[in-house]
Chain A
């Protein structure tokens, strides 16, 4: 058998296959880039080059109108996983000194007797974010906001490192109580509510989400209601507002009671 040449214009297989592939490409490309952009409703095409760019997915320059400004002040905190990894001892020490002004509400050992959050052992990213939000006004509280007026970025980092350094009170769920309520363990999928535990521990911890074990039920309920009625807005991308708005009162109570159920330990009482 004499070897015929494959890559030659005399080879019908070569010409046929390349021709067929090229024709499909040209025809579909012509339809895609020249015809279809004009047929799409609401697509204002300025010319052939514009049609081609639009079909190729080249982003258009944004419109001239101003970006809509947010009605509320939003959190500007950026967290990354390395921020709090190895706090310097001096930072923890400075934090301890600064934290003396927090003790009246949050307890001398970071465990509160006043329905304020327990801070001992809380994740540093959480304390950092909340303090930062109080400072920028993304979160407002008559008691907390004035404290932040005089706190620097370094102060905030130090306080966060100090509280994270303290031992965390153990979570407690009496045997008689039922297992975690559905809202905590499974959420409510049809209402778009992820389980509390998928961010706040139990299933998974997400950056910026506090652990809630042993926190005051009054405090948890108050925050969920504040998210639901829009008076607290420093959650990232509306995460907590969307969850809280969809929760019914019974679920709010169940979640708060579940997380709060704790014996009063020596350090707490």
Chain B
């Protein structure tokens, strides 16, 4: 049952519209810094564009997808109308207002600080206020998801919480807690300086706060994709979910171990002790566990589909799979990109190996492959899957959908593989132009051109995506039936209380945050000699 169709559609449309704009900026950035363009006369334009691209793609786009998808999951899995729909609209409009508020100073060149803020760089206060509004809007969603689940539990005592909603609420709690880091950084540190109450800032502490958000935010981006793996893919390809419990364990593991690992983003920073870097590195290794569990469970579920379709033998089920089905194609692409991206991630999280690729294009390649690749391709699938239920109109052109997914997959591989390669050669990230005539970086020129063409393919793919959605508006009305999620091979009739609620895992998440972040934050807060003068972006003289 989907009552709040307009609400959900509003989230998806805004998300994809902003995504389309930010994608164009990204493609322009790839072109302008490649050997195909003359050196940009004013690098400020590049950083302005980069700030807008990062802010939209990292904060606004995935948050809107998670929220829209979350409302859809809440209504259709719990089979109850959304409680607090008015609040949900308030959250949506907060995001709209926040996005506009932050993008105006960015467009004017008053806040070219990149989405990671980089204090002591300080931009126009409205940029940060806008982001605080976006986060505030998303926290309304966090609260609504918990309220809806609690209300359902009260009237359904003893019934297991549907997997989709269980995962969705895990995702919302993860976001609720991880966003606290950036919120503390913005409210306690950056905004007082941006508003002129202070002129110095503890840049090291600010970076530690940001790392609190920076890694778990990736898992927040990932959550809708993982929910799609478990609850859409097996149903869409005609199979069954291999294990409902394994799915729940994966999601609660993300909740627990996505948080206490962020300091691996600050391996090169002097303000954090090597001991804490090691502990965070060790916990980061554990975060591979829920992903490996997921890969296993989903492959097993896909195998069930293959065998149900008559596949035989150790590999026969592979050819029996419905490869014409866009969902099948997308999940295969997503796994390939997740595999390469994950392997790269193991290098990033290793204290010593990180030193060779830290702050190079390797990192840019890594997070585009994971987020832009493995995650966003499943956002497309979520949209394709949900659209007929939201608009009442069928998406008929499966061929065009396959073309779109192929283009996105090939585009993302062509974009990110050369980035990884030039990163190993030592090419730094966040540069507006490079002197490719210098023998030291001449070998980077051709891979950079290749990756720019990958970026152009991504723009084409997004164009096709919009065309598909647009065309579906013109197909005749149909009844898509109730929105369903996949069924497990052995449907759960009884779930351990630990896997039917989130309390234990939230407690562990907060506890490990305290053990792993408590001392570094306390030490930097107490010391009086860690602040540096702020540098105001876009001021004159």
Check if B496 sits within 8 Å of A13, measured CB to CB. yes
Additional A-B contacts beyond A36-B274, A190-B438 (13; CB < 8 A): A4-B497, A17-B508, A28-B278, A28-B282, A33-B275, A55-B273, A56-B276, A57-B272, A81-B539, A81-B541, A125-B541, A189-B435, A190-B435
Check if A6 sits within 8 Å of B515, measured CB to CB. no
| Chain B neighbourhood of A188, CB < 8 A | 435
Check if B499 sits within 8 Å of A13, measured CB to CB. yes
Check if A24 sits within 8 Å of B276, measured CB to CB. no
Chain A contact residues: helix, strand, loop or mixed: helix
Question: Which of these, A27, A58, A203, contacts B44 with CB under 8 Å?
Answer: A203
Q: Does B154 contact A (CB under 8 A)?
A: no
Q: What string of 1s and 0s marks CB contacts (under 8 Å) between A1-25 and chain B?
A: 1011111000101100110010011
Q: What string of 1s and 0s marks CB contacts (under 8 Å) between B484-520 and chain A?
A: 0000000000101111010111001001100110011
Q: Does B359 contact A (CB under 8 A)?
A: no
Q: Does A204 contact B (CB under 8 A)?
A: yes
Check if B41 sits within 8 Å of A55, measured CB to CB. no
| Chain B neighbourhood of A186, CB < 8 A | 39, 41, 433
| Chain A neighbourhood of B473, CB < 8 A | none
Check if B272 sits within 8 Å of A205, measured CB to CB. no
Chain A residues near B (Cβ < 8 Å): 1, 3-7, 11, 13-14, 17-18, 21, 24-25, 27-29, 31-33, 36-37, 40, 52, 54-58, 80-81, 123, 125, 180, 182, 185-186, 188-190, 195, 198, 203-205, 207
Question: Which of these, B41, B157, B271, B505, contacts A185 with CB under 8 Å?
Answer: B41
| Chain B neighbourhood of A5, CB < 8 A | 497
Q: Does B483 contact A (CB under 8 A)?
A: no
Check if A55 sits within 8 Å of B275, measured CB to CB. yes
Chain B residues near A (Cβ < 8 Å): 39, 41-44, 157-158, 199, 256, 271-276, 278-279, 282-283, 286, 431, 433-435, 438, 440-441, 494, 496-499, 501, 503-505, 508, 511-512, 515-516, 519-520, 523, 536, 539-541
Question: Which of these, A28, A40, A190, contacts B440 with CB under 8 Å?
Answer: A190
| Chain A neighbourhood of B438, CB < 8 A | 190
* Bound complex: CA A205 to CA B540 (Å): 6
Say yes or no: A58-B523 contact (C-beta < 8 A), given A14-B498, A32-B274, A203-B44. Answer: yes
Check if B433 sits within 8 Å of A205, measured CB to CB. no
Check if B275 sits within 8 Å of A3, measured CB to CB. no
**In the complex, how many residue pairs between chain A and chain B have their CB atoms under 8 Å apart?**
118
Say yes or no: A189-B43 contact (C-beta < 8 A), given A13-B504, A31-B278. Answer: no
| Chain A neighbourhood of B504, CB < 8 A | 6-7, 13-14, 17
Check if A189 sits within 8 Å of B431, measured CB to CB. yes
Check if A123 sits within 8 Å of B541, measured CB to CB. yes
Check if B275 sits within 8 Å of A32, measured CB to CB. yes
The 25 listed contacts between A and B (C-beta, < 8 Å) are A1-B157, A6-B504, A13-B496, A14-B504, A17-B504, A17-B508, A32-B274, A32-B278, A36-B274, A40-B274, A54-B275, A55-B273, A56-B276, A57-B272, A57-B275, A57-B276, A58-B523, A81-B536, A185-B39, A189-B431, A198-B43, A203-B41, A203-B44, A204-B44, A207-B541
Say yes or no: A32-B508 contact (C-beta < 8 A), given A25-B515, A186-B433, A207-B541. Answer: no
* Bound complex: CA A18 to CA B272 (Å): 26
| Chain B neighbourhood of A54, CB < 8 A | 273-275
Interface centre among B275, B279, B282 (most CB of A within 10 A): B275
| Chain B neighbourhood of A180, CB < 8 A | 41
* Bound complex: CA A28 to CA B284 (Å): 12
Interface centre among A5, A57, A195 (most CB of B within 10 A): A57
| Chain B neighbourhood of A4, CB < 8 A | 496-497
| Chain A neighbourhood of B508, CB < 8 A | 17-18, 21
| Chain B neighbourhood of A11, CB < 8 A | 497-498
Interface centre among A4, A32, A52 (most CB of B within 10 A): A32
| Chain A neighbourhood of B516, CB < 8 A | 25
Check if A57 sits within 8 Å of B523, measured CB to CB. yes
Check if B498 sits within 8 Å of A13, measured CB to CB. yes
User: Closest residue of chain B to A195, judged by CB?
Assistant: B43
Check if A203 sits within 8 Å of B42, measured CB to CB. yes
| Chain A neighbourhood of B431, CB < 8 A | 189
* Bound complex: CA A56 to CA B282 (Å): 16
Measured CB to CB, the closest approach of chain B to A10, in angstroms, equals 12
Check if B498 sits within 8 Å of A36, measured CB to CB. no
* Bound complex: CA A3 to CA B272 (Å): 44
| Chain A neighbourhood of B435, CB < 8 A | 188-190
Check if B433 sits within 8 Å of A29, measured CB to CB. no
| Chain A neighbourhood of B279, CB < 8 A | 25, 28-29, 32
Measured CB to CB, the closest approach of chain A to B535, in angstroms, equals 9
Check if A57 sits within 8 Å of B271, measured CB to CB. yes
Check if B272 sits within 8 Å of A17, measured CB to CB. no
* Bound complex: CA A68 to CA B69 (Å): 61
Check if B498 sits within 8 Å of A17, measured CB to CB. yes
Interface centre among A56, A125, A185 (most CB of B within 10 A): A56
Check if A56 sits within 8 Å of B273, measured CB to CB. yes
Measured CB to CB, the closest approach of chain A to B397, in angstroms, equals 47
* Bound complex: CA A186 to CA B433 (Å): 8
User: Closest residue of chain B to A125, judged by CB?
Assistant: B541
| Chain A neighbourhood of B498, CB < 8 A | 6, 11, 13-14, 17
Measured CB to CB, the closest approach of chain A to B429, in angstroms, equals 14
Check if B286 sits within 8 Å of A24, measured CB to CB. yes
User: Closest residue of chain A to B441, judged by CB?
Assistant: A190
User: Closest residue of chain A to B499, judged by CB?
Assistant: A13
| Chain B neighbourhood of A185, CB < 8 A | 39, 41
Check if A80 sits within 8 Å of B43, measured CB to CB. no
Measured CB to CB, the closest approach of chain A to B444, in angstroms, equals 12
